[in-house]
């Protein structure tokens, strides 16, 4: 009964990202590598890139119920490849897995799915857009208009998404550098989704509405072996501007940071290592570890100096690969809300 | 003082090497069979555990096809896309290896702890197996060695296994825990599939329990016989050492020290004997294991390892039992020493008087045990009660034996007037206490032999008759799909042959998992099926769809019989027209007409056919040529019969081997008792010799006595053995397999066995008798020269 070991083994590229397993992601075995100055080709690039080792379609949403209650929602489809390329049937080297979660102030529901490529159980098709695993799907006639669903043993949701702004390219026009050694990924987002739909919770169904943020990222060697985990922030401010910032924690206790300022019209300004800072203020004991659930986040170039606090400090994703992911509220120089993901806390 | 005391104690063994040998050999024999059987059992259990761990069999609900054993990958994906969390399994055989393909990313069971270390990160290229199994696989297959994987099984990714088996389908789906909300009904997505609840899967360990209990009973029996030897040896050794003990104590050795030394001495010897026994047990187990493995595979489809591992569970239990057994035998003797007056005289006669009260105790024990056996036989229920009944019968009868023999000998003594005869009976009676344990051992061995061979032979007769009635059709054929099924029917119909199509599905009746069979009632069924019990015109009623037939297992387990009604579906209840004996498998069966079956299960077509024909080879060739049915899908009656009988014979190889071994142990017990008695008897024989009986004459009388006693034992063992056979056939079998077997008697075999028992006794008595014939007259004369 060592499914977990096995799964970790099979999924080690993702583990390398999530847990910072030193060295595992260091070689790229014939996988394609991201290069600077990418030229994206849409809608094809919304689909899968099987020549790269890892890829994800990562959606988070801040929602509000009719009574003003706040909710968070996550839907992520991951692809990881044992070898580059695609093959038919069970011979396919592609593995898919997905996470779904709903967070309330005092509850957190999370579930996961696994699938093999090549047999039709999971996959992503660029046009019309369809990303699916089992009965879960994110799909629509194009990337701007989509429906989203997921179910677990104790929760589910059914949502509709409409993009009200352009795609946003992170880093240098979508080439996002992850370390001083040059590890990088292709990374773009759609942070302008309006979302509404129904959450199915043990207490009953709730109609909700809010905003959603979809990240697309693929790479083959995203972390250097001196990096142990990351803290990733997607913040939406009251004035319509947005901030994506992350810091990669390195084993020598230094940080590598990167961020993108997004104006309300979708104009982006990237900031390299050192501009964006995130400092833990509040730690919470979650699943036997100390997790920072309150942060001071600054971006001096934009006058940002805010406190970021978890809506529910216990938003622990207790899955095969455990991590923290949940909605946050923003106060200070700017107000707003957003999502926080933290990996590699042992 | 300790050293010289110990030297004095040990000198006894130097002077009586045969007694030392008896003590060690008794312990070794007792431990050998016990630990051998335990070794086999623990190996098998370890294999079952490994299999359960490897495959998770029985732990999870399964989704399986209503018919056949194939699920398409499309069905799997359709289920997943509908929100059914299932994980695929492909199960097949590659030569001697069971090859199981799983999907590691969805499977609830992993491949094993070593995967993480041995794999290069590409588990999808290799299959995992222990090294024994790996050796059986084609060298072209990449195998990762993993000792935690059950024997006979190789596991790999479904992709790898599909390639190896040249298949593109799945065998079954594991229903995972934590199914999502809002799941649609299985029937609407995949009507051809059904759920088999986890608890309904016959747990291999549970199925094979009765088999292992049988082995354990044999082990325990021989252990008891071995302990008899130990007990009597210890008794004699202490009798003989009374003088020494008296001397040592008179010289000032404290009682406590003496007891400690004796205990230590006996226990160390016991450990040596038990150690040898464990070694022998290992050898016995290693020799028997391949047959046991074949039996378990044939009977239950359970794979067990062909190689034996040294597990603490069995050798420690053997050692512990030997030490405890010796301890019990020793404690009464130690008690005697502790309470013996310091200067008590040492008369053999005193020993006999003391045992008169022991006979009385034994008789009371026998009456109590036999008295308990009666209510158990009448109201007992379950396998354990069956074995309790066996235990009470065997031990009760064994305890009754010496008292019975003594009474008989007293009677004979009173009726004889000739002096030599009178002395002979009296002397035999006087030897009884020393021989009683050996005689009990012989009786247990003989009666176990009678009981088990009666059961096996009765079973064999019944089984062969059953095969004849069940395997009446000359050809058996399996088709792959509905079209082929219809084609075959038409083909056979044209030729005007009697066809016996068989429709089969699994279902639950009376809360028990059963096979539901749809049959076309025809002359073959009417003529050759023998019912255990039936209502009038049973087949007519079945044919009309008015009634069903149950097999005996189901009838007994569900407490139903002819005339009762059985609920087949929530809205269909049918009367039972007949109950049929079924000795092929432990599973329950309901047999109904083809028409009724098809109204209940419209999707299921006849996948198996029996065909009556006068020219089987020609028809077989025609079917292969005309219909394109694979020759492998056709089996001739003779082949099935041979296969079934082979399984049957293998099942009882182990039993008969154990039978012979217990008889051997028992005759060894007699030999050892006679040898150890021989020296003691010199003072008793000397006067007779002095009165004129020659040593040769005395030797012959010794042999005659052995034959007479063995004959007496055999006479007592015969009814006991038959009682044993009855319990095995009517109680144990019903519990273990669900069928009751008619008991047949085999007088010729019993006589033969009686002959063996006599021969064993004569062989055992030969050496002591020869020694007596050659006793120097001086030794006999010395008896008159001085008292001991």
Asked if the structure places residue B504 within a domain, the reply is: yes
Residue B182, chain A, CB below 8 Å: the answer is: yes
Residue B660's contacts (CB-CB under 8 Å, 6 or more residues apart) are none
Label residue B592 by pLDDT band (50, 70, 90).
very high
Label residue A309 by pLDDT band (50, 70, 90).
very high
Peptide bond into B14 cis (omega under 30): no
Q: H helices then E strands: how many in chain A?
A: 2, 23
Say whether pLDDT at B459 is over 80.
no
Q: What is the dihedral of CA B250, B255, B261, B267, to 10 degrees?
A: 130
Tens-place pLDDT, residues B536-576: 989 999 999 999 999 888 888 888 899 999 998 888 899 99
Based on the fold, state whether residues B291 and B279 are members of the same structural domain.
yes
Taking alpha carbons only, the member of A118, A121, A135 closest to residue B162 is A118
Tens-place pLDDT, residues A93-123: 899 999 999 999 999 999 999 999 999 999 9
C-alpha B200/C-alpha B213 separation (Å) is: 22
C-alpha B282/C-alpha B294 separation (Å) is: 19
Q: Is A273 exposed, middle or buried (0-12, 13-18, 19+ CB in 10 A)?
A: middle
- Sign of the Cα torsion B294, B300, B302, B304 reads negative
Interval B612-620 mean pLDDT: 87
**pLDDT value at residue B213:** 65
Domains of chain A with bracketed CATH: 3-21+31-342 (2.40.370.10)
Give the residue numbers spanning the domain of B102: 59-201
- Whether residue A121 and residue B80 make contact (CB cut-off 8 A), yes or no, is yes
Residues of B in contact with A114 (CB under 8 A): 105-106
Beta-carbon count within 10 A of B227 CB? 25
**pLDDT value at residue B113:** 31
Asked if the structure places residue B566 within a domain, the reply is: yes
Based on the fold, state whether residues B574 and B497 are members of the same structural domain.
yes
C-alpha B177/C-alpha A102 separation (Å) is: 20
Are B739 and B583 in contact, with CB atoms under 8 Å apart? yes
**pLDDT value at residue B205:** 55
C-alpha B359/C-alpha B436 separation (Å) is: 10
DSSP-H helix ranges across B416-522: 419-470, 482-494
Based on the fold, state whether residues B228 and B117 are members of the same structural domain.
no
**pLDDT value at residue A313:** 95
- Whether residue B81 and residue A82 make contact (CB cut-off 8 A), yes or no, is no
Based on the fold, state whether residues B189 and B226 are members of the same structural domain.
no
Range A201-206 contact pairs with CB under 8 angstroms and sequence separation of 24 or more: A201/A102, A201/A104, A201/A107, A201/A109, A201/A155, A202/A154, A202/A155, A206/A65, A206/A66, A206/A69, A206/A71
**pLDDT value at residue B347:** 52
Taking alpha carbons only, the member of B320, B369, B324, B347 closest to residue B231 is B324
Are B561 and B576 in contact, with CB atoms under 8 Å apart? yes
The encoded tokens of residue A219 equal 């790479």
Residue B166, chain A, CB below 8 Å: the answer is: no
Which of A132-141, A302-311, B152-161, B223-232 is least confident? B223-232
Label residue B55 by pLDDT band (50, 70, 90).
low
Taking alpha carbons only, the member of B479, B525, B520 closest to residue B501 is B520
**pLDDT value at residue A3:** 33
The encoded tokens of residue A273 equal 């290592």
The encoded tokens of residue B468 equal 């004849």
**pLDDT value at residue A1:** 25
Say whether pLDDT at B730 is over 70.
yes
B51 versus A215: the higher-pLDDT residue is: A215
For chain B, what is the domain count? Answer: 3
Taking alpha carbons only, the member of A317, A113, A76 closest to residue B103 is A113
Which residue, B315, B346, B377, sits at the end of a domain?
B346
Beta-carbon count within 10 A of B600 CB? 16
Strand partners, B502: B519, B608
Pairing of strands B97-102, B153-157: parallel
Are B255 and B7 in contact, with CB atoms under 8 Å apart? no
Residue % of chain B over a pLDDT of 70:
85
C-alpha A233/C-alpha A309 separation (Å) is: 11
Say whether pLDDT at B687 is over 80.
yes
Asked if the structure places residue B465 within a domain, the reply is: no
**pLDDT value at residue B390:** 80
Tens-place pLDDT, residues B90-146: 988 887 788 888 888 888 765 433 333 333 444 467 888 888 888 888 888 888 888
Based on the fold, state whether residues B12 and B68 are members of the same structural domain.
no
Say whether pLDDT at A16 is over 50.
no
Say whether pLDDT at B699 is over 50.
yes
Asked if the structure places residue B716 within a domain, the reply is: no
Taking alpha carbons only, the member of A161, A121, A157 closest to residue A140 is A161
CB pairs under 8 A between A and B: 103
Based on the fold, state whether residues B10 and B144 are members of the same structural domain.
no
Are A205 and A221 in contact, with CB atoms under 8 Å apart? no
C-alpha B352/C-alpha B362 separation (Å) is: 15
State the number of CA atoms in the 13 A half-sphere of A122 facing the CB.
Answer: 26
Hey, is B696 helix, strand or coil?
helix
Q: Which of A6, A97, A153 lies nearest to residue B110, judging by beta carbons?
A: A6
For residue B500, give the H/E element and its range: strand B499-509
Hey, is B306 helix, strand or coil?
coil
Based on the fold, state whether residues B47 and B102 are members of the same structural domain.
no
DSSP for B80-122, written as a single string: HHTT--EEEEEEEEETTEEEEEE-TTT-SS-S-TTHHHH--S-
Q: Which of A9, A114, A156 lies nearest to residue B182, judging by beta carbons?
A: A156
**pLDDT value at residue A62:** 96
The encoded tokens of residue B526 equal 């009417």
The encoded tokens of residue B314 equal 């069995």
Hey, is B22 helix, strand or coil?
helix
- Whether residue B104 and residue A120 make contact (CB cut-off 8 A), yes or no, is no
Beta-carbon count within 10 A of B310 CB? 9
DSSP for A128-161, written as a single string: TEEEEETTEEEEEEETTEEEEEEE-SS-EEEEEE
Hey, is A72 helix, strand or coil?
strand
What DSSP designation does A172 have? B
Say whether pLDDT at A191 is over 90.
yes
Asked if the structure places residue B559 within a domain, the reply is: yes
Calculate the CA B60 to chain-centre distance: 30
Residues of B in contact with A113 (CB under 8 A): 85
Asked if the structure places residue B411 within a domain, the reply is: no
Based on the fold, state whether residues B82 and B157 are members of the same structural domain.
yes
The encoded tokens of residue B281 equal 């047990």
Which residue, B612, B629, B655, sits at the end of a domain?
B612
Asked if the structure places residue B555 within a domain, the reply is: yes
Residue B339's contacts (CB-CB under 8 Å, 6 or more residues apart) are none
C-alpha A233/C-alpha A339 separation (Å) is: 6
Residue B184, chain A, CB below 8 Å: the answer is: no
Label residue B85 by pLDDT band (50, 70, 90).
very high
The encoded tokens of residue B204 equal 């291999």
A135 to chain B: nearest residue by CA?
A: B81
Asked if the structure places residue B257 within a domain, the reply is: yes
Based on the fold, state whether residues B215 and B85 are members of the same structural domain.
no
**pLDDT value at residue A23:** 30
Based on the fold, state whether residues B485 and B595 are members of the same structural domain.
yes
Which residue, B612, B645, B677, sits at the end of a domain?
B612
Question: Can you state the percent helix, strand and coil of chain B, rounding each to 5?
Answer: 65, 15, 20
C-alpha B597/C-alpha B591 separation (Å) is: 9
C-alpha B223/C-alpha B218 separation (Å) is: 8
Based on the fold, state whether residues B63 and B197 are members of the same structural domain.
yes
Tens-place pLDDT, residues B475-494: 888 887 788 888 888 888 88
Based on the fold, state whether residues B214 and B320 are members of the same structural domain.
yes
Residues of A with CB under 8 A from a CB of B: 1-7, 9-10, 12, 82-83, 89-91, 93, 95, 97, 111, 113-116, 119-121, 132, 134-135, 151-156, 200
Residue B754, chain A, CB below 8 Å: the answer is: no
Chain B interface disruption, residue of A4, A6, A100, most B CBs within 10 A: A6
Whole-Å CA distances, A123 to A53, A55, A126, A137, A330: 15, 12, 10, 10, 35
Tens-place pLDDT, residues B638-669: 877 776 777 667 666 666 666 676 677 677 77
C-alpha B100/C-alpha A300 separation (Å) is: 60
The encoded tokens of residue A298 equal 């600054």
Taking alpha carbons only, the member of A269, A233, A275 closest to residue A255 is A275
């Amino acid at each position: 009964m060592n499914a977990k070991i096995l799964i970790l083994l099979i999924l080690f590229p993702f583990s390398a990202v999530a847990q910072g397993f030193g060295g595992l992601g260091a070689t790229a075995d014939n996988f394609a590598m991201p290069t600077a100055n990418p030229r994206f080709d849409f809608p094809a690039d919304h689909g899968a890139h099987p020549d790269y080792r890892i890829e994800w379609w990562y959606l988070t949403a801040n929602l509000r119920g009719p009574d003003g209650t706040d909710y968070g929602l996550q839907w992520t489809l991951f692809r990881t490849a044992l070898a580059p390329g695609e093959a038919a049937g069970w011979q396919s080297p592609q593995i898919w897995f997905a996470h779904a979660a709903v967070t309330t102030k005092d509850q957190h529901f999370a579930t996961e799915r696994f699938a093999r490529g090549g047999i039709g159980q999971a996959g992503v098709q660029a046009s019309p857009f369809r990303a699916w695993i089992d009965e879960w799907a994110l799909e629509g006639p194009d990337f701007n208009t989509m429906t989203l669903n997921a179910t677990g043993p104790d929760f589910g949701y059914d949502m509709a998404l409409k993009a009200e702004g352009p795609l946003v390219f992170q880093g240098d026009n979508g080439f996002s550098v992850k370390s001083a050694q040059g590890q990088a990924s292709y990374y773009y987002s759609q942070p302008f989704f309006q979302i509404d739909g129904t959450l199915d919770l043990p207490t009953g169904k709730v109609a909700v509405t809010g905003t959603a943020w979809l990240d697309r990222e693929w790479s083959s060697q995203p972390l250097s072996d001196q990096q142990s985990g990351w803290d990733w922030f997607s913040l939406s401010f009251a004035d319509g501007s947005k901030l994506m910032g992350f810091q990669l924690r390195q084993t020598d206790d230094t940080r590598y940071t990167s961020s993108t300022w997004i104006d309300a019209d979708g104009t982006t300004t990237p900031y390299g290592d050192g501009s964006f800072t995130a400092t833990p203020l509040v730690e919470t004991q979650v699943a036997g570890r100390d997790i920072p659930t309150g942060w001071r986040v600054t971006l001096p170039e934009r006058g940002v100096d805010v406190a970021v606090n978890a809506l529910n400090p216990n938003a622990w994703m207790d899955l095969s690969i455990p991590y923290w992911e949940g909605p946050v509220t923003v106060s200070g120089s700017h107000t707003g809300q957003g999502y926080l993901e933290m990996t590699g806390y042992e | 003082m300790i050293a010289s005391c110990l030297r004095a104690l040990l000198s006894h063994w130097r002077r009586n090497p045969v007694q030392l040998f008896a003590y060690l050999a008794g312990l070794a024999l007792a431990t050998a069979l016990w630990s051998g059987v335990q070794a086999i059992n623990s190996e098998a259990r370890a294999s079952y555990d490994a299999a359960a761990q490897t495959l998770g069999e029985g732990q999870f609900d399964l989704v399986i096809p209503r018919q056949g054993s194939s699920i398409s990958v499309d069905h799997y994906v359709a289920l997943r896309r509908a929100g059914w969390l299932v994980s695929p399994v492909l199960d097949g055989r590659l030569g001697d290896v069971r090859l199981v393909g799983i999907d590691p990313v969805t499977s609830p069971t992993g491949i094993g702890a070593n995967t993480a270390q041995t794999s290069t990160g590409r588990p999808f290229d290799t299959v995992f197996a222990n090294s024994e199994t790996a050796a059986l696989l084609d060298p072209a297959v990449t195998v990762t060695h993993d000792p935690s994987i059950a024997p006979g099984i190789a596991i790999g990714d479904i992709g790898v296994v599909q390639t190896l088996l040249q298949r593109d389908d799945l065998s079954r789906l594991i229903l995972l825990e934590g199914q999502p909300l809002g799941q649609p009904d299985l029937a609407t997505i995949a009507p051809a599939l059904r759920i088999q609840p986890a608890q309904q899967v016959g747990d291999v360990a549970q199925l094979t329990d009765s088999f292992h209990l049988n082995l354990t009973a044999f082990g325990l029996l021989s252990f008891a016989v071995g302990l008899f030897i130990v007990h009597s040896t210890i008794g004699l050794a202490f009798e003989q050492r009374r003088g020494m003990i008296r001397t040592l104590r008179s010289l000032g050795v404290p009682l406590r020290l003496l007891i400690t030394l004796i205990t230590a001495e006996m226990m160390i010897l016991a450990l040596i004997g038990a150690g040898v026994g464990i070694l022998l047990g290992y050898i016995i187990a290693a020799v028997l294991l391949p047959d046991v493995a074949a039996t378990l595979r044939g009977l239950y489809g359970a794979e067990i390892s062909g190689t034996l591992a040294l597990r603490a569970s069995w050798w420690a239990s053997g050692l512990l039992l030997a030490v405890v057994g010796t301890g019990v035998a020793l404690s009464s003797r130690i008690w005697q020493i502790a309470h013996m007056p310091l200067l008590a005289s040492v008369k053999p006669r005193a020993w006999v008087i003391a045992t008169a009260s022991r006979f009385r105790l034994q008789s009371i024990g026998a009456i109590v045990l036999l008295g308990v056996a009666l209510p158990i036989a009448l109201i007992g229920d379950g396998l354990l009660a069956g074995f309790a009944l066996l235990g009470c019968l065997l031990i009760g009868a064994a305890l009754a034996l010496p008292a019975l023999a003594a009474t008989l000998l007293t009677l004979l003594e009173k009726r004889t007037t000739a002096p030599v005869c009178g002395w002979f009976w009296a002397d035999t009676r006087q030897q009884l206490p020393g021989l009683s344990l050996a005689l009990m051992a012989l009786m247990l061995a003989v009666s176990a032999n009678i009981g088990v061979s009666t059961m096996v032979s009765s079973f064999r007769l019944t089984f062969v008759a059953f095969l004849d009635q069940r395997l009446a059709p000359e050809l058996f054929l399996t088709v792959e799909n509905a079209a082929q099924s219809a084609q075959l029917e038409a083909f056979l119909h044209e030729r005007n042959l009697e066809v016996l199509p068989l429709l089969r599905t699994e279902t639950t009746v009376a809360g028990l998992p059963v096979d539901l069979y749809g049959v076309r009632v025809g002359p073959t069924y009417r003529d050759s099926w023998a019912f255990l019990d039936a209502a009038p015109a049973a087949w007519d009623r079945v044919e009309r769809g008015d009634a069903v037939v149950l097999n005996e297992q189901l009838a007994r387990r569900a407490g139903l019989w002819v005339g009762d009604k059985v609920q087949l579906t929530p809205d269909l209840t049918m009367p039972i027209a007949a109950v049929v004996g079924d000795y092929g498998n432990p599973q329950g069966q309901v047999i109904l007409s083809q028409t009724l079956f098809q109204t209940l299960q419209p999707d299921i077509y006849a996948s198996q056919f029996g065909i009556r024909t006068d020219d089987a080879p020609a028809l077989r060739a025609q079917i292969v040529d005309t219909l394109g049915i694979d020759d492998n899908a056709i089996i001739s009656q003779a082949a099935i019969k041979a296969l079934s009988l082979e399984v049957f014979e293998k099942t009882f190889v182990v039993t008969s081997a154990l039978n012979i071994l217990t008889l051997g142990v028992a005759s060894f017990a007699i030999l050892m008792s006679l040898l150890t008695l021989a020296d003691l008897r010199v003072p008793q024989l000397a006067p007779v010799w002095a009165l004129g009986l020659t040593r040769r004459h005395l030797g012959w009388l010794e042999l005659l006595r052995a034959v007479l006693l063995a004959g007496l034992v055999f006479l007592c063992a015969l009814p006991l053995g038959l009682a044993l056979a009855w319990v095995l056939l009517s109680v144990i079998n019903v519990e273990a397999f669900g069928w009751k077997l008619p008991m047949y008697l085999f007088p010729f075999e019993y006589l033969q066995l009686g002959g063996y028992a006599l021969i064993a006794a004569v062989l055992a008595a030969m050496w002591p008798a020869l020694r007596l014939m050659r006793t120097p007259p001086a030794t006999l004369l010395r008896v008159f020269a001085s008292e001991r």
